[in-house]
């Protein structure tokens, strides 16, 4: 299967970039699609991490304002995993350590890749690398974030069971923490055996 870009136009460039793309692609039944016009939000490559303390059986989650959830009746403050975007020349693992310090004052070790996935490929090129890491949760908490980025991030250190309860009840309702906590639930016993 092949596809081609006929034309690209940048329609907006700010915090994110919006590009209009004219394209054509092969069809499953044979032949070519008509020329299609699509918009794509250029978000870059995101990296996220779920820190876990195997001794205390606790995970570190963060809560912050998210404009995309502004229409939610529960409000736009979401409970999420620690996350950020890669800077040029920065590895995903470097982002994990940087963001954990910036967003939660959290030191990490034993960083393990859980998954790589596209967050919303119908309109965004953002690909997310999700990591799991060990931490000492007894030294984590408070309000964090960078003033120059307008961040106001509250840290939640909760038991694994509490995190699973929040997931199951729908209190956690964005993709990265859902995927991360589901992966953790499946792999929890293996990790505890390895790390304890």
What is the domain partition of the chain in residue ranges?
A: 3-42, 45-195
Give tens-digit pLDDT for 3-15. Answer: 999 999 999 999 8
| Residues catalogued as catalytic | 149
Cα 183 to Cα 23, 57, 124, 125: the distances in Å are: 36, 15, 24, 23
Tens of pLDDT, residues 97-115: 999 999 999 999 999 999 9
Classify domain 45-195 at the CATH topology level.
Nucleoside Triphosphate Pyrophosphohydrolase (3.90.79)
pLDDT band at 185; cut points 50, 70, 90: very high
DSSP string, 78-142: EEE-EEEEPPTT--HHHHHHHHHHHHH----EEEEEEEEEES-TTTB--EEEEEEEE--GGG--S
């Amino acid at each position: 299967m092949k596809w081609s870009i006929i034309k690209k136009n940048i329609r907006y460039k700010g915090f994110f970039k919006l590009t209009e793309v004219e394209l054509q692609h092969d069809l499953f039944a044979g032949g070519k699609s008509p020329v299609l016009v699509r918009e794509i939000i250029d978000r870059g490559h995101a990296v996220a991490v779920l820190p876990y303390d195997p001794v205390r059986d606790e995970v570190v989650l963060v809560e912050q304002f998210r404009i995309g959830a502004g229409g939610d009746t529960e409000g736009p403050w979401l409970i999420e995993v620690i996350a950020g975007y890669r800077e040029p020349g920065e590895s995903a693992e470097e982002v994990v350590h940087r963001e954990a310090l910036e967003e939660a004052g959290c030191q990490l070790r034993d960083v393990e890749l859980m998954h790589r996935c596209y967050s919303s490929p119908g309109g965004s090129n953002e690909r997310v690398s999700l990591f799991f890491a060990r931490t000492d949760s007894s030294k984590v908490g408070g309000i964090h974030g960078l003033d120059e980025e307008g961040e106001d991030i509250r840290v939640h250190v909760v038991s694994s069971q509490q995190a699973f309860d929040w997931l199951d009840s729908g209190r956690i309702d964005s993709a990265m923490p859902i995927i991360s906590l589901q992966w953790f639930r499946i792999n929890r016993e293996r990790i505890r055996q390895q790390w304890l």
